[in-house]
Structure 1
Amino acid sequence: MSLGAIWTQFFPPRNGAPLTDTNLPSQAGKVFIVTGGSSGIGYETSRILYGAGGKVYMLTRSKDNAEEAITRIKAHYAQDGDANVKTGSLHFIQMDVADFESVKNAAQQFLALEGPDGRLDVLFNNAGIGARKNAPQTPQGHEYHFATNSIGHHLLTRLLAPILSRTAKKSPKDTVRVVWAASVLVDMISPRGGIRKEYLQDPFSIKNQNELYASSKTANWFLASEFARRQSEAGAFGTGVVHMAANPGNYITGIWRHVTPLIAYVLRPILRYPIHGAYTYLWTAFSDSVTMDDAVTGRYAICDGRWHPGQRKDLLLALRGEEEGGSGRAREYFEWCEERVKDFLD
């Protein structure tokens, strides 16, 4: 990995996003889930999908925040005054992604609302937390960064794999997708191999909140690759669904609320507005340049809708099993997640 690979994630080409709210094709008839959809990048993603005619479910913790976001989104298009804009619909489902019982309840509620003939075209696993010193344990006693940024989304994806697969069977090839949120810190500060072996043995043995954050985002890349690799017609992980990790970029969002104030202050001048992060998600979710082959080989998207120019060698090796000459860390992490969510899959 070169310095240029880091630089381009902090300073992407100006006006270089291939897909934006101005040229996204109609999404009428399609169904989307955006976790953390009431604020930041999730809010902008929900807004754009609604404006394109999509049916959007916001899965987020706060009903008040979700209702306020829905009001703002509807007002945005009402004020636009363009009679040609055919908006979709917005729906709130309460979910705390760090609480696996809440995740299960949210998935069940979504499936009930969609019914037996329902669909799910794209799942945006967007919700997350920044580096938080002395973060609390989750309701199930898990380490907070991983549970919030990664394991909770693993569970949600497992629970929704059947409806994603059914939608893929009646949709054009490679158009049903799951987008996993990553970070530039995957490249910059994640440990060798992406996730320490020690963490998998004892999650609370790692104390540095910055490493925990970076590793939890690396974990999402690992999950995207493993879900793509494990799909089969009769499997529990789905079939025909493209899983892709993406670093949406660095933005002014609520993710900074627990980060050390000095770090947030120093980085503030180079942070962008969240809508640009939504553009990254749009490319990852809808571009014809993204295929199942890319997902299986572990390619990785970056802001504002481009392929990563070259990941770290140790992380690429982590995506491959030992029989392929790799370290097998991605496979190990996926199976570790399976063990932690198994009681919530029935």
Structure 2
Amino acid sequence: MARDPGFWPVFVQGFPPKPKFHPDQIPDHMGRIVLVTGGNSGIGYETCKEMLKHNAKVYLAARSPEKADAAIASLKVETGKEGIFLKLDLGSMASVKAAAQEFFSKESELHILFNNAGVMVPPVELLTTDEYDLQFGTHVLGHFYLTESLMPALLAAVRTSPDGHARVVTTSSSSVYLERLHFETFKDGPERIKLGKAALYNQSKHGNAVIARQVAKRYGDQGIVSISLNPSTIQTSLQRHFPAVVHMILKAVLLKPVEYGVLTQLFAGTMPEALNYNGEFLIPWARLGRAHPECYNDEIGERLWDWLQGKVRAFEARQS
């Protein structure tokens, strides 16, 4: 069993060196189609903004039509470009399926998928519609199902892309180092409650890195580049479930502006150099790093992939 790296990488990555990458370096993306989950706020909003500024066609995927419409209106003011709303609740497998179907009714290709949306330490009793842990179901199962559903569009984009690739960029966290996978906690039950909401969050972000690497292994030879990353500790609505005093302390000491938080995933999704990082884990700001050692364990990765695939197949069987 791999040795836990402990809190040290979390601390070190919380104070990264001055960034060398700036969004102004992003190449023109005219003709490319981008989908950003959780695009209505925080890092997702900034990702949509920069991709629109660089002439991509951007689908903003979010749960709330009202919040999405407000974000799209704001993006129009900031960029002069119009984002496109895609209704998506990653905590509902039916919603993921419907979102993929809606996307395919409009597009046949997808050049960049930003698996960005997230929820952080909500009340532990909250579950997904399908009764999975809310954080695992949103971050891991929901994004897995979405990525697999949209894979035909990603592969189609490979065939027409100038660089012969399409990209899947998954927002993990420095929390990747703080927990392993506990399969008995993915669904509701006493073990999940016992693990607690903070560890459940850490586990889900660990799972993001595991699956991102598996996507690279399974589809890399077909032109898919899959990268996971730690965006750093960023001031966004993600901390809305934190106690007020904790949030105040974090804001004073650690949290950084969202304009910094978007850097690493923009680099992963757009820059030619990132094509060399398939299956890797990036750290702030747009640097190559290493996730928890178990994220590179193929036996664990295959077990998680099979578990997720089994749940998707069971869901789809119930729909037919």
Whether TM-score is above 0.5 comes out as yes
Percent identity between the two aligned chains: 28
- Offset at 1:275? 1.8
| Cα gap change, 1:28 to 1:260, in 2 (>3 Å) | same
Q: Is residue 35–residue 113 contact of structure 2 (8 Å, CA) maintained in 1?
A: yes
- Offset at 1:334? 1.2
Which residue, 253, 257, 268 being the options, matches 1:284?
268
- Offset at 1:47? 0.7
Q: Tell me which residue corresponds to 2:248.
A: 265
140-149 or 31-40: bigger deviation: 140-149
Q: Tell me which residue corresponds to 2:94.
A: 101
Which residue, 195, 207, 228 being the options, matches 2:181?
195
Q: Is residue 45–residue 275 contact of structure 1 (8 Å, CA) maintained in 2?
A: no
Letter in 2 for 1:307: L
Question: Hey, what's the Cα distance between the residues in 2 that align with 1:248 and 1:153?
Answer: 17
Letter in 2 for 1:144: L
Per-residue Cα deviation, 1:287-332 (whole angstroms, up to 9, x for no partner): 223236x42xx42011221111x4443x2xx5233xxxxxx21211
Q: Is residue 28–residue 53 contact of structure 1 (8 Å, CA) maintained in 2?
A: yes
Q: Is residue 200–residue 333 contact of structure 1 (8 Å, CA) maintained in 2?
A: no
| Cα gap change, 1:263 to 1:37, in 2 (>3 Å) | same
Question: Hey, what's the Cα distance between the residues in 2 that align with 1:202 and 1:40?
Answer: 29
- The 3-state SS of whatever aligns with 1:68 is helix
Q: Tell me which residue corresponds to 2:296.
A: 319
Question: Hey, what's the Cα distance between the residues in 1 that align with 2:164 and 2:121?
Answer: 34
Q: Tell me which residue corresponds to 1:159.
A: 149
- The 3-state SS of whatever aligns with 1:255 is helix
Letter in 2 for 1:108: Q
Question: Hey, what's the Cα distance between the residues in 2 that align with 1:291 and 1:48?
Answer: 19
1:1-346 to structure 2, matched below 5 A, reads 1=5, 5-14=9-18, 16-20=19-23, 22-78=24-80, 87=81, 89-114=82-107, 118-173=108-163, 175-187=165-177, 189-190=178-179, 194-199=180-185, 205-207=191-193, 208-231=196-219, 239-269=222-252, 270-291=254-275, 294-295=277-278, 298-308=279-289, 310-313=290-293, 315=294, 318-321=295-298, 328-342=299-313, 343-344=315-316
Letter in 2 for 1:335: D
Per-residue Cα deviation, 1:49-92 (whole angstroms, up to 9, x for no partner): 111111000110111111111111111235xxxxxxxx5x4100
Larger fraction in helix: 2
Question: Hey, what's the Cα distance between the residues in 1 that align with 2:95 and 2:74?
Answer: 26
Letter in 2 for 1:242: V
- Offset at 1:11? 1.3
Letter in 2 for 1:90: G
| Cα gap change, 1:169 to 1:44, in 2 (>3 Å) | same
TM-score calculated relative to the size of structure 2: 0.90
Q: Tell me which residue corresponds to 1:325.
A: none
Letter in 1 for 2:255: L
Question: Hey, what's the Cα distance between the residues in 2 that align with 1:201 and 1:156?
Answer: 19
Q: What stretches of structure 2 of length at least 5 have no aligned partner? A: none
- The 3-state SS of whatever aligns with 1:178 is strand
Q: What stretches of structure 1 of length at least 5 have no aligned partner? A: 79-86, 234-238, 322-327
Q: Is residue 17–residue 279 contact of structure 1 (8 Å, CA) maintained in 2?
A: no
Q: Is residue 90–residue 137 contact of structure 2 (8 Å, CA) maintained in 1?
A: yes
- Offset at 1:136? 1.4
Question: Hey, what's the Cα distance between the residues in 2 that align with 1:232 and 1:250?
Answer: 30
- The 3-state SS of whatever aligns with 2:272 is coil
- Offset at 1:17? 4.0
Question: Hey, what's the Cα distance between the residues in 2 that align with 1:51 and 1:232?
Answer: 29
43-52 or 22-31: bigger deviation: 22-31
Question: Hey, what's the Cα distance between the residues in 1 that align with 2:43 and 2:198?
Answer: 21
Q: Is residue 175–residue 286 contact of structure 1 (8 Å, CA) maintained in 2?
A: no
- Offset at 1:203? 6.1
| Cα gap change, 1:174 to 1:303, in 2 (>3 Å) | farther
- The 3-state SS of whatever aligns with 1:289 is helix
Per-residue Cα deviation, 1:15-48 (whole angstroms, up to 9, x for no partner): x14141x222211110000000010000000011
| Runs of at least 4 residues off by over 6 Å | none
Question: Hey, what's the Cα distance between the residues in 2 that align with 1:257 and 1:195?
Answer: 25
